[in-house]
Structure 1
């Protein structure tokens, strides 16, 4: 049973923080993981070490060593802690309470994950220790890309969310709308607050590509009049983003998402195809373009209907007057055409 401490704090030259009780004895509490090394210091070199009030000898522990330092201290070092090394070590009025816990096991639920481009990736790590009486557990996430040497910490943002399930001791990282740049190693590192990297594991995230897919509802037949401008757009998506190549009767015309034909004639009639390609495949869509040749009367009528009526508004002190002007020239052409 530990005694109640009064406010008296001293720091040794070794950096250990000693709390002193009302009787003048000092005690330090340590939590160690099995297999770790511990070094304890005593202010007086002529004092013997005890463990749980019984004399302690390094002869009984092949991994323990007791030496005197140049500063007049006695040093007790245990190179590799075992569960049986737990207890209260004392040297004079100085006491050290050592607790030894099993190595913490932070394990990835899946160490390799493949997610389609633009979807969400869910990465989870879980603490396997069933009995944990220590302070609260914490987990941090780190990312290192395929071609990067350094890792960066992943913090919550619009694309990243981190969830902690206390009952399951499970931490989950969600990466939204994944891209190729998100491919790489994600490390979950955690432990108690005083040792956040006590345990760790790595998850490798792969981003799978998507073959090009044509947009639904693209027209297959286009009818245009001679002299029109025709714009064809290749509506395809995929990952990596596809390239676009245009063909007419198996002859390559151009590259790019859009093909523009200006002032078309009857000779421009025919089949136009767009091929979208990436490393995962290709997709093709074909338009059949039909060009109508207008006769003289149709051309005049077309010009008269296309020509917009000009509207002119003038504002006076007495109000607003609107004057509608009609294209006289278009009207005369129509009359001449009808008389022929």
Structure 2
């Protein structure tokens, strides 16, 4: 990132534009700050960090025919001046971010300019970790995920199934967005989580939310049949993971599985048929009942 501002230092002062190459420097790389023009008869180029000329002097480069350089307290050994009044900084650190000011002195006049550079961190691929139950139960458990990154100024973005995760009364971010906490998970929180740090994306971490069974449905809902009919009843309940179905006739077990088949029924088979669904992981249950009447033909 690069922004410019210009300073005016009296009636005999001018301003110049300073360009950075590259415009978005990264730590470990180099950057060169170059003024757009160097006034004729310029004597020296004075570079310092910040906007106060009395502080953080980096160097003064004297132009031909003198061509020599003196350094100040802001010099780190990584800065070099040049005859075009440019400043080259090598092996950039994030601490090099900030405003740099150039003063170009010539007889009776001073030309100035500033450049603001931001040195971005080198970011490796982040990783995800989970510090809560990896199989949270709907309405009961919480979920906590951490985006692990060494970036100290990380801008962390969370995604669920490729879409940004926003904060709410249930969903909170902490530790500079590195931690995602979801209270009392819902089934819509199920899915593939990722975190993004700058332009680096973590691998996905799939978090299944254990829910259900919801109240089952018995189909068909028809409840009157003639003797010697064949009856097929189906039980359906929404849940994750799958459910086990058990059928009861007047309170006694009469079958298992989603389908109950009754063949050549008699009047003695009139009564209450109940389907019970049990979540195989949470062991939660839900039931539905159908009263069936078998009549004479």
> What TM-score comes out, normalization by structure 1 length?
0.41
Higher relative contact order (CA 8 A, sep 6+): 2
Which structure: larger Rg? Answer: 1
Q: TM-score, normalised by structure 2?
A: 0.45
Report the structure, 1 or 2, having the larger strand content: 1
